[in-house]
Structure 1
Amino acid sequence: MTRLRHRPTLDVRVEIRGELPREDAEYARAQALDTAAGLGPCARALRIRLTRTRARTVTRPALAQADVDLAGAGPVRVQLAAVTAREAVDLTLGTLAGRAVRLREQGDIGLAAVHESAYRPQYAARPLAERRIARRKEVVLAHRTPEQAARELLALDRRFHLFVDATTGRDSLVHRCPLSGALECGAAGADPAGPLDLPEAARRLWLTGAPFVCHTDPGDGRARVLYRRYDGHYGLITPVADRR
């Protein structure tokens, strides 16, 4: 006898960016509903975003990002790329479900998420003269221990994570090493050359080929991160004071 899985009542949303058939959006929603059903009542909301890049230098043009908020465990995010949209959906939702279960049951998603996935999205090649800061994000940094920040970085599938060290009170950064994928943590913006303005930070980003440059804002002395976006442009994260 086939047992029907209960469809969840939580909000499931699918966002499409770029040129993708309607059938791919319907497939993504159906798969998201199945995934949400397996997450149980602790799942509050599930979002999946599908993007297809037109950059010819990218061999896996379909990008899927899935986010879910788990009661008592916090948010989980996965972002992976594949040749087709359906493959990207399957990879991303399958990975999200596995990490969500480990986070809910063990409080940690485990070391399997430390390594760089073979399906991590690729950077589109863009001429230097065309690059710009396409997104600026101001954030209130949370106070965390390095261990807590590392767990959040893995759960959110990020390359880096800015936070305020709960012991020292300093802006700090935990990040993945580009080659090994191992995690490193330390005071953010600690650079022997001192504070950097944005043009110099962008120059370093270009010269090193690194995914991001963490540096000190010459104006307020806070750490900030200039990072590469997958569309070939840059993004900027700037800490701000909590105004509450």
Structure 2
Amino acid sequence: MKRSTPQEAPEVQVETSGQLPPHAAGYARDKVRAVLGQAPEPVLFARVRLARTANPAVERPVTAQANVDVNGRPARAHVAGHTATEAVDLLQDRLTEQLARLAQHWEARRGRMPVPGSHEWRHGSEPTHRPDYYSRPVEERQIVRHKSFSLVRESPDEAVFELESMDYAFHLFTDADSGEDSVLYRSGPTGYRLAQVHSRPHPAGNVAVPLTVSELPAPRMTVAEAQQRLEATGFPFVFFADAGTGRGNVLYHRYDGHYGLITPAE
């Protein structure tokens, strides 16, 4: 079988906000379109959001986010820069990494190559590209986004793939082997950590990624109690078992200084 040839890139939608140079939208469109031309499968949709905050306290005021659909498989990249040009260049680099992972995924599905080893999942300088958190006073913070959906049943390796392809800070899912609601996140420069509602310290089967598993069960609490813990610990998110349902939830800090809440759909 022949390797997939480069696909014709679609038109890239660009949305802008804040004070940006006149050339910024066109620059973002050209840079992202150049990357999409090397996608392993047809790109069905591509959108870029480019924004500059007016807050002078933000060190990297320009954020750039790309969302693409590669033949039904989503990918996402989210970065921040000192200028619009820097942010777009970082976005191009990050999106190139995301599409390379998708290429590995497609090749593996076709049986052309084995599942990637742990060295291929290293995220290196991941924290450096992310936007800065806005330091909003605690008394002003609210849950401004609540997402509820059926959790995907997958293995830890598949969860890492989702985490990296979508450029998430964490990924909430249901472990396919144990049936436990679980959260996976980065740990150290090259590893990942798994926490579950009821801890299973030794996942069944072979795990390709460098993974450690928390031995502690998720604390059972209300959303209000989770908010208190989030502020007390200073962590970017809190994984907890809902006091009413017992299902795994995640309360997290958003970049705008407010909170987001993710819950499983019953």
CA contact (8 A) 2:154 2:174 kept: yes
User: Match of 2:8?
Assistant: 8
Counterparts of 1:2-151 in structure 2, within 5 Å, are 8=8, 10-39=10-39, 41-71=41-71, 74-105=73-104, 110-113=120-123, 115-151=125-161
Aligned equivalents of 1:68, 1:82: Cα separation in 2: 21
CA contact (8 A) 1:139 1:239 kept: yes
Aligned residue for 2:221, secondary structure, equals: coil
Report the identity percentage: 40
Which digits, 9 at most, give the CA deviation of each residue in 1:38-96, with x for residues without a partner? 32653222221112223333200111111222237x32211110001121111112221
User: Match of 1:183?
Assistant: 192
State whether structure 2 residue 253 is matched by structure 1 residue 228.
yes
Aligned residue for 2:65, secondary structure, equals: strand
TM-score by length of 2: 0.78
1:36 deviation in Å? 2.2
Aligned residue for 1:118, secondary structure, equals: helix
> Structure 1: any 5+ residue segments left out of the alignment?
1-5
> Structure 2: any 5+ residue segments left out of the alignment?
1-5, 109-115, 200-215
1:231 deviation in Å? 0.8
Alignment RMSD (CA, Å): 2.5
TM-score by length of 1: 0.85
Q: Which moved more, 1:162-171 or 1:103-112?
A: 103-112
Q: How many residues align?
A: 234
1:23 deviation in Å? 2.7
Equivalent AA in structure 2 for residue 77 of structure 1: R
CA contact (8 A) 1:226 1:237 kept: yes
